[in-house]
Chain A
């Protein structure tokens, strides 16, 4: 557990460092995720050392969004002023992304399986 968290924080720190140093608009945590996948793939890190800690973090990820999510309360007035455009675009766009990504991936994947 402690070992796993050490590895995860190390990769987060490396990710943050790269993001800041090269002024990349990608946050350090996403860079850290890519690097961790690579490190496991190339066996720099052993799966059994990082998995217990990673499982706990991944399984409870939704919980971590709650404090910033409550922050929507300070924007109620602004949102109320432009309620219709915000709500409609938010609903429509979320459904559009779900539909487009799902349909395209499913269509392309079928073709892929047939040609194999």
Chain B
């Protein structure tokens, strides 16, 4: 029995099953806390703990699913192309808002964590949390963080942005579709982008663009901001 749950087939099957049920739950109730990614991750953690299956064994099988993250990021080039003209008209505003957003994201995460007493390793792991996992892990490693902890925080950030992003933006009076997409993509990368596509094609494409531009900006600014915070302040 033990050996059966340790197979890749079990890991993939349970992941599909949990996500399928979580999606059904979400389409039925549309309650924001029932975000399918959030519900699936929480349920899978409970399931793994209950059946006593360690994460590494699970991931050895389930990583075949996340392998497709790479091609799916490439595939975002299609919606980006389809909305190219809409986005091009606002090239300069987009560059300005994303650059400032990137700096605000790194500074607010790093400074808040440091002021509240986080260790330097944790500050380094949390600083690049807004960008897509492979970029964030690379930055984290460069400045002395724990890349896999960063990956966990990045995904948690994505879930948070997807869950509260659209409602929070509505609450603060942000109605411009491109602004909504850029904000969600800048704050919560791919998971937010998946949510942004539910709002509309233009929101989703803007969010895809934000993943790309914010990823570049954050790769440039995080080491600089980290240096300023730890060496100059």
Contacts and interface: CB of A to CB of B under 8 A. Distances in A.
Interface of A: 5, 8-9, 11-12, 15, 25-30, 32-37, 39-41, 47, 50-51, 53-55, 57-75, 78, 82, 84-86, 88-106, 108-110, 112
A97 B183 contact: yes
Interface of B: 11, 15, 18-19, 36-37, 40-41, 44-45, 48-49, 55, 58-59, 62-63, 65-66, 68-82, 84, 89-90, 92-94, 96-98, 100-101, 104-105, 108-110, 112-119, 122, 126, 129-130, 132-135, 138-139, 142, 148-149, 151-153, 155-162, 164-165, 168-169, 172, 174-176, 178-180, 182-184, 186-188, 190-191, 193-195, 197, 204, 208, 210-212, 215-216, 219
Interface of B is mostly: helix
B101 to A, nearest CB: 4
Given A85-B117, A94-B187, A8 B66 contact: no
Given A47-B82, A69-B159, 19 more contacts: A29-B73, A29-B132, A37-B84, A40-B81, A54-B76, A57-B71, A58-B75, A62-B36, A62-B190, A63-B36, A66-B41, A70-B45, A82-B118, A86-B122, A90-B109, A98-B168, A101-B97, A101-B101, A108-B96
